[in-house]
Amino acid sequence: MTQQLSPNWWREAIIYQVYPRSFNDTNGDGVGDLPGITAKLDYIAQLGVDIVWISPFFKSPMKDFGYDISDYCDVDPLFGTLADFDAMIAKAHSLGLKIMIDQVMSHTSEQHAWFAESRKSRDNPKADWYVWADAAPDGNPPNNWMSVFGGSSWQWDTRRRQYYLHNFLVSQPDLNFHNPEVQQAHLDCLRFWLERGVDGVRMDACNFHFHDRQLRSNPPALVRDTATVSDVNPYGMQAHIHDKTQPENVAFLQRIRKLLDEYGAVAIGEVGADDSLAVMAEYTEGGDKLHMAYSFNLLTPQCSARHIRTQVEQFGARVKDGWASWSVGNHDAVRVMTRWGGDQPDPEFAKLVLAMQLSLKGTPCLYQGDELAFTESDVPFELLQDPYGITFWPEFKGRDGCRTPIAWEAATNGGFTEGKPWLPVDEKHIARAASVQERDPQSPLAFARRFIAWRRTMPQLTRGDITFFDAPEPVLALRRDAEGERSVLAVFNLGRDATTLPLPQAAGAQTITDPGLPGSVAADGTVTLPPYGAWFGYVK
């Protein structure tokens, strides 16, 4: 591994998420693979990011496209081999990139050998490795817990004549983390990858590991949750106080951290909870659990300056010494260009969102294609692959729209594959293909590279404290302060209309020209911003 400059290097880093199925296909089967990632690592390195988070590539029946793992210690043939993985790690490290793998610990595939043994009987060696429960006297499930993907989270199994818990698909049985053997098995599997040179781990659904031993039913939600689930999904009608986010999880995360520290590796956790900011704070403070965590709070349709400010300020108020990772896009959310930008978003909006995200206090996590200003794809029902979308169609179309393959070239299938892509390549994306933007110095891609390079020179933005100032919507105004450095004031116009506003803090400020965003300030502190404009300045 590359020698680190400081033990907190990850706080100054930028994460780039690769969804391997849709990144780059090298064998013509229509599905991206590990050699495809290796072939594009130069592109990622040129973007200027530090960590490459790769969504699951482990053996899987692919009912949830890799988030249903049947073997934690091998690569699915769809993506390649362990040798391909080793080659990818070697290439990444040669470019100064770190590799972060996606660990799905809360559940496995129903085809995992552990579950095959567990369901055989109630007295086999792995009988207690999953969450099993007897039926209620009337034959119903033991409680009212619901699956994130719809319906009861309990499935009857005729072999054991018991129900098993599945917080997600029926084919994703939940492991019983109250069993120490389950915890140790996961630690052993994680060590397998750390020994192969992995630099970090993204922990999927990291607050789902433990459940209430008494299997108490959840009460109704006092406030309907539409932040982490679609509003057509009844999952949000419950207060999820018994089926996840249990206190025992803290000790397990401490065990994970101890193992990671042996290798100098880092961890980021995905938190989907009724009060996700509180959980993020709890799981990252103290320096003995997760290094950082992110929630779905900036993955919602809300894009007001007030909402963004509230999320960052509330995290800062609740956390002692933990760290956030702010993500505005991933493989589970409508692409930010559509979610925040509307039906026909201006490519300039992508530049504004990137600059804003990279100016917040925390480690930014970018999603593949966002640097190209890709919009959400409209996948017709007959081509849908996501079981979540198929279940809730047509009011909720699932996650396929943000998972369509990357368009690398202005060519058939966007140069993603020589075969038939597993999801259609969006024609709008082909018009904005990476190769097209490479030739345009004003493209979103060119801007992303410039801004990321500039941010690296600004310790105020990578490690400084953050303070927000009152400004009328849709303007977000903030200051970043780092010891020994001049304070930086940043003002962002999230709206489609130009705006001019007085900002007393900006009086006498010196404009920073390097960011390359349109915006200006007068001597009296009046800031003028065009649509989707921003201004950065040194202030006294």
Q: What is the pLDDT of residue 228?
A: 62
The one catalytic residue in 123, 138, 195, 262 is 262
pLDDT exceeds cutoff 70 at 1? no
pLDDT exceeds cutoff 70 at 213? yes
Second-level CATH architecture of 9-106+180-210+246-454 = Alpha-Beta Barrel (3.20)
Helical packing angle, 305-318 and 276-284, nearest 10°: 40
* Residue 43 · residue 53 · CB < 8 Å: no
pTM over 0.75: yes
**Alpha helices for 95-128 (secondary structure H):** 113-118
pLDDT per residue over 111-130, tens digit each? 999 999 999 999 999 999 99
Q: What is the pLDDT of residue 308?
A: 97
| 262 counts as catalytic | yes
The one catalytic residue in 25, 50, 64, 204 is 204
pLDDT per residue over 446-499, tens digit each? 999 999 999 999 999 999 999 999 999 999 999 999 999 999 999 999 999 999
What HEC string does 179-238 produce?
CHHHHHHHHHHHHHHHHCCCCEEEECCCCCCCCCCCCCCCCECCCCCCCCCCCCCHHHHE
> Please, which residues have CB within 8 angstroms of residue 184's CB and are 6 or more apart in sequence?
none
Q: Check residues 231 and 177 and name the one with the higher pLDDT.
A: 177
Spatial distance between the Cα atoms of 130 and 226, rounded to a whole number of angstroms: 29
Spatial distance between the Cα atoms of 283 and 429, rounded to a whole number of angstroms: 38
> Count of alpha carbons within 13 Å of 416, Cβ hemisphere only?
28
Query: What SS3 class is residue 417?
Result: coil
Domain borders along the chain are 9-106+180-210+246-454, 463-539
Spatial distance between the Cα atoms of 452 and 431, rounded to a whole number of angstroms: 24
The one-character DSSP state at 482 is -
Spatial distance between the Cα atoms of 430 and 408, rounded to a whole number of angstroms: 8
Compute how many other C-beta atoms are within 10 angstroms of the C-beta atom of residue 395. Answer: 9
3-state helix, strand and coil shares in percent for the chain, rounded to the nearest 5: 30, 20, 50
Name the residue among 362, 269, 255, 280 with its Cα closest to residue 10. 362
- The distance of Cα 502 from the centroid of its chain, to the nearest Å, equals 36
pLDDT per residue over 495-537, tens digit each? 999 999 999 999 999 999 888 899 999 999 999 999 999 999 9
The one-character DSSP state at 134 is P
Structure tokens at 99: 């590799």
Q: What is the pLDDT of residue 225?
A: 56
As a whole number, the mean pLDDT across the chain is: 95
Name the residue among 163, 169, 168, 245 with its Cα closest to residue 206. 245
At 58, which helix (H) or strand (E)? strand 58-59
Burial of 385 per CB tally in 10 Å (0-12, 13-18, 19+): middle
Q: What is the pLDDT of residue 3?
A: 47
The CATH number that domain 463-539 falls under is: 2.60.40.1180
pLDDT per residue over 84-101, tens digit each? 999 999 999 999 999 999
Concatenated DSSP letters for 261-321? HHHT-EEEEEE--TTHHHHHHHHHGGGSS-SEEEESTTSSS---HHHHHHHHHHHHHH-SS
pLDDT exceeds cutoff 60 at 368? yes
* Residue 520 · residue 537 · CB < 8 Å: no
Tell me the average pLDDT across 405-415: 98
**Alpha helices for 434-528 (secondary structure H):** 434-438, 444-456, 459-463
pLDDT per residue over 23-80, tens digit each? 999 999 999 999 999 999 999 999 999 999 999 999 999 999 999 999 999 999 999 9
pLDDT per residue over 378-394, tens digit each? 999 999 999 999 999 99
Tell me the average pLDDT across 327-354: 96
Q: What is the pLDDT of residue 226?
A: 53
Query: What is the band of 2 on the pLDDT scale with cuts at 50, 70, 90?
Result: very low
Structure tokens at 253: 């995360």
| 483 counts as catalytic | no
Query: What is the band of 227 on the pLDDT scale with cuts at 50, 70, 90?
Result: low
Spatial distance between the Cα atoms of 48 and 55, rounded to a whole number of angstroms: 20
